[in-house]
Amino acid sequence: MCATEGEMHSARGCRVYKYRNWSVSFSKSRMPCYTVTVATGSQWFAGTDDYIYLTLVGTEGCSERTLLDKPLYNDFERGAVDSYDITVGENIGDIVLIKIEKKKYWVHDDWYCKYITVKTPSGDYIEFPCFRWLVDDKEVILRDGRARLPQDDKTRVAKQHRRKELETRQKTFRWKEWHPGFPMSIDAKAHKELPRDIQFDSEKGVDFILNYSKAIENLYVNQFMHMFQSSWGDFSDFERIFMRIKNTISEYVMQHWKEDFMFGYQFLNGCNPVMIQKCTQIPKKFPVTHEMVADCLERDLTLEEELKAGNLYIADYEIMEDITANATDPCTPQYLAAPICLLYKNSQNKILPIAIQLSQSPGEDSPIYLPSDDQHDWLLAKIWVRSSDFHVHQTVTHLLRTHLISEVFGIAMFRQLSAVHPAYKLLLPHIRFTIAINTKAREQLICENGLFDKANGTGGGGHVQLVQKAMKTFTYKSLCFPESIKARGMESQEELPYYYYRDDGNKVWEAIKSFVTDMINIYYASDETVQEDEEIQAFVKDVCSFGMQDFDYCEFPKSVQTLEQLVEYLTVVIFTASAQHAAINFGQYDWCSWIPNAPPTMRNPPPTKKGQTDMKLIVESLPDRGRSCWHLGAVWALSQFQENELFLGMYPDEHFIEKPVKKALETFREKLTEVSKLIKNRNEGKKLPYYYLSPDRIPNSVAV
Per-residue pLDDT tens for 101-120? 999 988 888 999 999 999 99
The residue that leads in pLDDT, 244 or 651, is: 651
Is 276 in the same domain as 139? no
Task: With respect to residue 269, please indicate whether it lies within any of the assigned structural domains.
Answer: yes
* pLDDT tier at 22, thresholds 50, 70, 90: very low
- 7 pLDDT more than 80: no
User: Tell me, what CATH number does 363's domain have?
Assistant: 1.20.245.10
CA separation for the pair 386, 253 (Å, rounded)? 13
Query: pLDDT, tens digit, for every residue of 630-663?
Result: 888 888 888 888 878 999 999 999 999 999 999 9
Q: Taking residues 572-587, report their average pLDDT.
A: 98
Q: Assign 347 to helix, strand or coil.
A: coil
Helix, strand, coil percentages for the chain (3-state, nearest 5): 45, 15, 45
Is 130 in the same domain as 230? no
pLDDT of residue 241: 59
Contacts of 674 (CB under 8 A, 6+ apart): none
Is 336 in the same domain as 479? yes
Q: Is the Cα torsion angle 541, 544, 550, 554 positive or negative in sign?
A: negative
pLDDT of residue 612: 95
- 482 pLDDT more than 80: yes
pLDDT of residue 246: 61
CA separation for the pair 493, 345 (Å, rounded)? 13
pLDDT of residue 631: 83
Q: Taking residues 218-238, report their average pLDDT.
A: 59
Is 214 in the same domain as 136? no
pTM (2 d.p.): 0.92
Task: With respect to residue 200, please indicate whether it lies within any of the assigned structural domains.
Answer: no
* pLDDT tier at 550, thresholds 50, 70, 90: confident
Is 222 in the same domain as 332? yes
Is 108 in the same domain as 255? no
- 9 pLDDT more than 80: no
Task: With respect to residue 388, please indicate whether it lies within any of the assigned structural domains.
Answer: yes
* Domain final residue, candidates 124, 145, 166: 145
Is 216 in the same domain as 75? no
* Domain final residue, candidates 145, 180, 195: 145
- 16 pLDDT more than 80: no
Is 137 in the same domain as 223? no
Is 219 in the same domain as 115? no
Q: Taking residues 543-552, report their average pLDDT.
A: 90
Contacts of 236 (CB under 8 A, 6+ apart): none
pLDDT of residue 30: 66
Binding site per annotation, positions for Fe cation: 398, 403, 581
pLDDT of residue 532: 98
Binding site per annotation, positions for Ca(2+): 47, 69, 109-110
| Count: domains in the chain | 2
- 121 pLDDT more than 90: yes
CA separation for the pair 388, 392 (Å, rounded)? 6
* pLDDT tier at 207, thresholds 50, 70, 90: low
- 3 pLDDT more than 50: no
Query: pLDDT, tens digit, for every residue of 254-309?
Result: 999 999 999 999 999 999 999 999 999 999 999 999 999 999 999 999 999 999 99
pLDDT of residue 14: 34
Query: pLDDT, tens digit, for every residue of 439-478?
Result: 999 998 898 888 888 889 999 999 999 999 999 999 999 9
Task: With respect to residue 46, please indicate whether it lies within any of the assigned structural domains.
Answer: yes
Print the SS3 string covering 453-485.
Answer: HHHCCCHHHHHHHHHHHHHHHCCCHHHCHHHHH
Task: With respect to residue 679, please indicate whether it lies within any of the assigned structural domains.
Answer: yes
Report the mean per-residue pLDDT for the chain.
90
pLDDT of residue 449: 86
pLDDT of residue 24: 34
Is 235 in the same domain as 122? no
User: Tell me, what CATH number does 108's domain have?
Assistant: 2.60.60.20
CA separation for the pair 674, 690 (Å, rounded)? 16
pLDDT of residue 225: 46
Task: With respect to residue 191, please indicate whether it lies within any of the assigned structural domains.
Answer: no
Task: With respect to residue 10, please indicate whether it lies within any of the assigned structural domains.
Answer: no
Q: Taking residues 509-519, report their average pLDDT.
A: 98
Binding site per annotation, positions: 47, 69, 109-110, 398, 403, 581
pLDDT of residue 287: 98
Q: Taking residues 513-535, report their average pLDDT.
A: 98
Q: Report the b/e string of 334-373 with b at 16+ CB within 10 A.
A: bbbbbbbbbbbbbeeeebbbbbbbbbbebeeebbbbbbeb
Is 353 in the same domain as 255? yes
* pLDDT tier at 142, thresholds 50, 70, 90: very high
* Domain final residue, candidates 125, 145, 165: 145
CA separation for the pair 658, 224 (Å, rounded)? 57
- Domain of residue 465, residue span: 207-703
* CB atoms closer than 10 angstroms to residue 188: 21
Task: With respect to residue 495, please indicate whether it lies within any of the assigned structural domains.
Answer: yes
pLDDT of residue 31: 79
Is 124 in the same domain as 256? no
Among 191, 137, 101, 658, which residue's Cα sits nearest to residue 447? Answer: 191
